Structure 1
Amino acid sequence: MNLKKQLTKAFVLSWLSLLGFGVMALLVERNQIIHFDSRIISYIQGFEEPFLTTIMKSLSYIGGTIPVIVLSLLTIIFLYTVLKHRSELILFIAVIIGSNLLFVSLKLLFHRARPDLHRLAEATNYSFPSGHATMAFALYSSLTFLFWRHIAKRTGRVMLIIFAAFMILAIGISRIYLGVHYPSDIIAGYFISCFWLTLSIWIFQRYQERKNK
């Protein structure tokens, strides 16, 4: 696949993701997704048992602020000192900081209260969109994008995708299981993060193309 096709796909995916977020936001604003949210929460929390709760709390912690900051700093150090990727370093920082600013701003805009059906953990601030889901998608998807070309074997690349997908989905599900987010919060977090990630990659790739010319 040539660069032009990659840029086109990134651009289209970016705006489709923004459209997806817009649809979710509209449904939430009109209270037209409560039945969907309630059914999914009831289904996921139907698996509740002590050992699984411990696992879900661990996954939720991994998706929290401190672990995300630590992993981001380690990635920055690795990109700068080992791979010597200065431009990729800027891309990664832009994705992480931009995603964080987006979900914080949107929470303040929508003011959605957290679910109160069955809480297994405590959480502060507003619910929509999920910060854990937004940052998990931004972090693990950007790591996949940055490290993909450094893995020679197909098996390694497949494992990288599986790991990233597992972490993104598991962290999102953990927040639903613990009763601190609606499923629509998680989906919206994925959408807005995908929008920012793909838009950032599109800008980055266009910059690289012009630089190489």
Structure 2
Amino acid sequence: MRELSLRLLFVWIICILFTGIFAYIARSIHVQSISNFDEPIIDFVQGAESPGVTSIMKLFTTIGSTTSVVLLALLILGVLVWKKHRAQAVLFAIALAGTGILNQVLKFVFKRERPDFHRLIDISGYSFPSGHTMMAFSFYTILAYIVWRNVVNSGSRVAIIFLATMMIIMIAVSRIYLGVHFPSDIVGGVLASSVWLFASIAFYQRLQRQKSGNLQTK
């Protein structure tokens, strides 16, 4: 129990820290002092433009789209329910649904306009924080967490973490490359989804530990 309490304390400290960094970025956007961070990264990423790279980036943006995420999420939820991992299915659903709601709320609050230069695809809506990044981070991180808990093979664990990390990075970078997000939108998205995701996992672990304790006392 003491180990769990210390773990939860660490998670809440991380959540508070990430919230503080998110607030700092949001303030920097508001006072228009974030360009020194955004512009060099945009120049570097978009400097790699070529027809082949553009096709790859459009592919990753499509993978990170709402339609793709919903279809993949339904497939994974079906597998979890079929395998009788109902608690993990609930965690997975709550993590993704909460991320989507949080993103829409934050976009409405900050109402940052998207970049208006060198845009390779047409898109509407506000820019901060990046919805693609938030959903990609939550989707692939929670998926990696669930696989980690259900697979004992170390090679499979390493593989899912590597795959999850690469998918998150590529989807996030594709948004900068295609000119629809600032890098600060990406960082803000990772921070926001991290807070929601870590809190959700911490709550899930606490409930599972309590459930296990109740079963042992019966």
Which residue matches 1:94? 94
Q: Mean alpha-carbon deviation: is it higher for 84-93 or for 14-23?
A: 14-23
1:37 counterpart SS class: helix
Which residue matches 2:206? 206
In 2: Cα distance, 1:125 partner to 1:11 partner: 32
In 1: Cα distance, 2:35 partner to 2:91 partner: 37
Question: Counterparts of 1:70-109 in structure 2 under 5 Å?
Answer: 70-82=71-83, 84-109=84-109
Which residue matches 2:44? 43
In 1: Cα distance, 2:145 partner to 2:139 partner: 10
Question: Counterparts of 1:16-55 in structure 2 under 5 Å?
Answer: 16-55=17-56
Which residue matches 1:157? 157
In 1: Cα distance, 2:199 partner to 2:50 partner: 40
Which one has a bigger Cα radius of gyration? 2
Which residue matches 1:65? 66
Which residue matches 1:195? 195
Which residue matches 1:120? 120
In 2: Cα distance, 1:160 partner to 1:17 partner: 25
In 2: Cα distance, 1:87 partner to 1:204 partner: 8
CA deviation after TM superposition for structure 1 residue 10, in Å: 2.6
Which blocks of at least 5 consecutive residues in structure 2 are unaligned?
214-218
Which residue matches 1:138? 138
In 1: Cα distance, 2:75 partner to 2:7 partner: 28
1:180 aligns with 2:197: no
In 2: Cα distance, 1:116 partner to 1:45 partner: 14
| Matched residue type, 1:152 | V
CA deviation after TM superposition for structure 1 residue 12, in Å: 2.5
1:41-87 C-alpha deviation (Å, 9 max, x unpaired) = 111000000000000000001000111001110111011002x1111
1:118 counterpart SS class: coil
Q: CA RMSD in A?
A: 1.4
Aligned length: 212
| Matched residue type, 1:77 | G
1:124-159 C-alpha deviation (Å, 9 max, x unpaired) = 100000000000000000001111022222221111
1:148 aligns with 2:148: yes
1:14 aligns with 2:15: yes
CA deviation after TM superposition for structure 1 residue 5, in Å: 4.0
8 Å contact from structure 1 (residues 7, 205) kept in 2 = no
CA deviation after TM superposition for structure 1 residue 8, in Å: 3.1
Percent identity over paired residues: 41
In 1: Cα distance, 2:152 partner to 2:116 partner: 48
In 2: Cα distance, 1:8 partner to 1:159 partner: 29
In 2: Cα distance, 1:161 partner to 1:9 partner: 22
Which blocks of at least 5 consecutive residues in structure 1 are unaligned?
none
In 2: Cα distance, 1:154 partner to 1:88 partner: 20
CA deviation after TM superposition for structure 1 residue 17, in Å: 2.0
Q: Cα 1:5–1:161, aligned 2, differ >3 Å: closer, same or farther?
A: farther
| Matched residue type, 1:28 | I
2:121 counterpart SS class: coil
